């Protein structure tokens, strides 16, 4: 199909959505929000510069954005898989699946996991003229408005608009922290509610840190990533943001839940040689997890580029202010 903006606005308003499950509430007009959420996620990635070519990969980042939207629903579906809308969007007249070499595209398959989707498909593409329209902000925002207004009730629309802004703003904030673009202060300013600005900042810092550490915990080295876009690591500040308002990646590390808690509690720290320090308190208390002891004196995992290594000044602060030197 070769279409104008008006035709695509109409296509976006007529996406085939599943209404068979009795569980969809009035918030999503009693229909599945998966396809609209996927399209909103893609629009966010185009707006923030993460998607620049007409080749939509089922990437970790895209699944993560999709899950941010799913999490807005009150009883959100923790098992929601992006594979479903990604594959079934083929019933629309603007979406084409791209099979892997040697695989053929077949309609009506049952693909229920991202793993399976990635085994069979490289990704998908929009109609060429739609992708061109999506490069233009005014067209993209009109298409976004149709998705929000058609598939969601007025009660949840403001939350979805806000999430779109947080998704775009946090990615631009992350690009700024990584030095790939100027920090876009505009999103922080436009995020007029303080809570919203904090989310842009938090998620932006998280995106930058998780990318630098490739989902690996700096202290114990664990790396766990589900195919649906969930990771074991948090982005941790070494000196808390409340102390010095410093989001630079050199004031952060990716840490798994246990290491994050242990670091914040002062049970672990890092010495001047970038080796792990474990507090004597861990040895004394039989209730504290003993396997932390095995990490003592091991080098931490650092980003490839030394300019992003955690700053020794930040570790000096942590050793002085947080680390439990005695039991
Ligand atoms: Zn860890």
Give pLDDT tens digits for 232-263.
899 999 999 999 999 999 999 999 999 999 99
Give CA–CA dist 72/54, Å, rounded. 28
Please give the pLDDT value at position 109: 83
Please give the pLDDT value at position 194: 67
Give CA–CA dist 233/133, Å, rounded. 37
Please give the pLDDT value at position 233: 94
Contact between 304 and 261 under an 8 Å Cβ cutoff? The reply is no
Please give the pLDDT value at position 326: 80
Cα 192 to middle of ligand 1, angstroms = 35
Q: What is the pTM of this model?
A: 0.87
Angstrom CA distances, 137 to 73, 93, 98, 132, 255, stand at 27, 22, 26, 11, 37
Cα 183 to middle of ligand 1, angstroms = 30
Please give the pLDDT value at position 183: 56
Ranges of residues in the chain with a pLDDT under 50 are: none
Please give the pLDDT value at position 284: 78
Cα 233 to middle of ligand 1, angstroms = 8
Residues with CB under 5 A from ligand 1 (ion): 217, 219-220, 256, 259
Beta strand pairing call for 252-256 and 276-278? unpaired
Angstrom CA distances, 93 to 33, 96, 199, 266, stand at 19, 8, 35, 56
* Strand residues in the chain grouped as ranges (E): 95-99, 121-126, 233-237, 252-256, 268-270, 276-278
Cα 289 to middle of ligand 1, angstroms = 12
Q: Domain residue spans in the chain?
A: 26-155, 157-212, 213-321
Grouping H, G, I as helix, E, B as strand and the rest as coil, residue 160 is: helix
């Amino acid at each position: 199909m070769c279409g104008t903006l008006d035709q695509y606005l109409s296509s976006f308003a007529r996406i085939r959505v599943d209404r068979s499950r009795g569980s969809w509430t009035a918030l999503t007009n009693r229909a599945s929000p998966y396809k609209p959420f996927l399209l909103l996620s893609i629009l966010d990635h185009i707006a923030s510069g993460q998607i620049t070519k007409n080749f939509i990969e089922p990437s970790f980042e895209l699944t993560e954005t999709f899950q941010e939207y799913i999490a807005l629903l009150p009883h959100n579906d923790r098992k929601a898989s992006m594979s479903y809308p990604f594959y079934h969007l083929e019933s629309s007249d603007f979406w084409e699946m791209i099979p892997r070499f040697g695989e053929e595209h077949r309609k009506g398959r049952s693909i229920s996991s991202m793993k399976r989707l990635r085994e069979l498909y490289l990704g998908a593409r929009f109609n060429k003229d739609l992708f061109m329209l999506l490069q233009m902000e005014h067209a993209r925002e009109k298409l976004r408005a149709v998705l929000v207004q058609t598939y969601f009730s007025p009660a949840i629309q403001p939350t979805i608009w806000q999430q779109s802004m947080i998704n775009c703003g946090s990615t631009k904030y992350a690009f700024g922290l990584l030095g790939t673009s100027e920090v876009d202060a505009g999103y922080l300013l436009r995020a007029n509610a303080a809570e919203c600005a904090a989310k842009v900042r938090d998620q932006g810092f998280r995106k930058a840190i998780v990318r630098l550490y490739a989902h690996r915990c700096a202290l114990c080295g664990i790396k766990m990533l589900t195919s649906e876009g969930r990771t074991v690591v948090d982005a941790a500040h070494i000196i808390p943001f409340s102390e010095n308002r410093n989001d630079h990646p050199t004031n952060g590390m990716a840490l798994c839940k246990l290491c994050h808690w242990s670091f914040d509690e002062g049970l672990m720290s890092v010495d001047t040689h970038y080796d792990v320090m474990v507090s004597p308190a861990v040895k004394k208390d039989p209730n504290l997890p003993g396997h932390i002891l095995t990490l003592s004196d091991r080098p931490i995992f650092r980003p490839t580029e030394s300019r992003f290594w955690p700053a020794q000044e930040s570790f000096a602060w942590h050793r002085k202010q947080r680390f439990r030197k005695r039991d």
